[in-house]
Structure 1
Amino acid sequence: MKAERIESSLQRRVWSFNRRAETVERQIVLLTDGAAEAETGQERLGMQAPALLWAGDLQPGRLIVEAGSTGFRGHVGNALLVDAIGEQAESVDLRYLVDRDFVLSLAGQAERTAVVSRCFEGILSELRQPQEGSPLLLSALLRIVLVTMMRLSGAHEISLVGAGEKAGLLQRFRQLVEMNFRSHWSIATYADALGISTDRLHAICTTGIGKTPKALVSERLAHEAALRLDRSAMTIQQIGHSLGFADPAHFSVFFRRMTGTAPGAYRRERALARQHGITAPSTSFTDWP
């Protein structure tokens, strides 16, 4: 993550973003005074302080800040965003939120404005002087900002209610998977927790996403395994155990079946890619898992 303070200026300022494929990231702006506008894709998002802007669709654009305006701006890489979103039930609502562009008014929200401002101050401080545990602290501060956005936007109600009963059940299934995929629940157990039959759960998933419940759970597990192989210092056996595999061989067979690559080979490929400055492919949280 990178961030900077928007200082008051006598002239309008313009920042471009996501112009180069290798630097595509999500953008965030907290405007504490003045006015601004973000142009992303074909959309224009106006801001009147106090307000929060999130540009999550990864399209090229620019931020135009009027003279005299103040606040903070930053851009968030995928790895930090994954950490900040986490693995709780509410994480699904955050995933729903972060691939979208929107502006949230903070008028009449003095306490929330202060919280987000303090988070930005903490982020700037940590970026200036990184210390042991800096990535963990940055993800925690970003999570506070994301949850604040979720509460302001009503993303939970939108994601559960906006598209009707089937969409709500699908969202609840995703939440249950997020909490229990490491426990290797059976599809029947998920269906029982939702109060529906396995046949209905299968129909909801295949109609809504085009994948079976089993495929969704397996892909979520494989996605987590890939993240840990890429970014964790744990051994392959430890990673397998942390994901509910008692036998390392079973974990290796599962990962190879899902990705076409053995865990050890995947880890070596990612290490070599990092040496050449190649980051992991960006993930769209809308298309979970």
Structure 2
Amino acid sequence: MTNAIAAHAATQPCAPARFTLEAVSPAIGAEVAGIDLRETLDEATIAALRSALVQHKVLFFRDQDITAAQHVALARRFGELEVHPVFPHHADHPELVLLGGTQASKARENIYHSDVSWREIPSMASMLRCVECPRSGGDTIWVNMAKAYADLPQAVKDQLADLEAVHDIMPSFGSRMSAEERAANRAKFPAVTHPIVRTHPESGEKILYVNEGFTTHLANYLSKGTFRVGFDYRYGEFELLQYLFRQAAVPEYQVRLRWEPNTIAFWDNRSTQHYAIQDYFPAVRRMMRATIIGDKPF
């Protein structure tokens, strides 16, 4: 804990919050009211927020004018925080990544993805605060990937049993690195394999866990069947993966947030994907994100 965070925690009382939840869409998302995230919340409130997160998958908080130190301290109540190896960081708090383009270049998060699925131990959740945003545009979409899996035809579920997928940092982030940085990050973050259908460690839900941002191919598709010639399995693998990617684009599984300054979105990376819509360039949207380390998918 940094000195700034410790000082804040020491001067703020523990406040038992009595918040309310209102569902935003039938499939995913709830808006939280009656809570002030500048205060140090008691353990019961943190536990209630975590339970709401697991249930609703993403929580929205409006009008939360918190400092960077308060942002880090709040996110840390839910677990250890990561330091992202590529995104720029807050000068005083490396756990906070700075997101958003400039008037000269667009941001590039407009692809369905789950944060850092390329890690051997991906994230549990992310907490994103809007610092500055345009008056229109720049919305973010979240997707309930547990529902996406539940609604798959049984024949597809049978096909997915025991299949694994490879997740890799390089397709999305390699172009931001020099050759030396690519070599160093490849050594530090080799491609990893996760089950296509992971189990949520808290709810027990089955989740479709592939995303077009970081999933490159299926690890063991060839071992799952007998194929006539090579292109049968090569095209079969490609077509199955593309079909699974498309599930995130189904509107019935989604919720869409219109950002305002000091809005916070807190989402479960284990059971969701998200897409940051890049329709506002050359206007600027500036965000800060803390990401909470999770557990190895199973």
Q: Shorter-chain TM-score category?
A: under 0.3
Give the TM-score, by structure 1 length.
0.27
Q: Which has the higher strand share?
A: 2
Q: Which has the larger radius of gyration?
A: 1
Q: Which has the higher helix share?
A: 1
Give the TM-score, by structure 2 length.
0.27
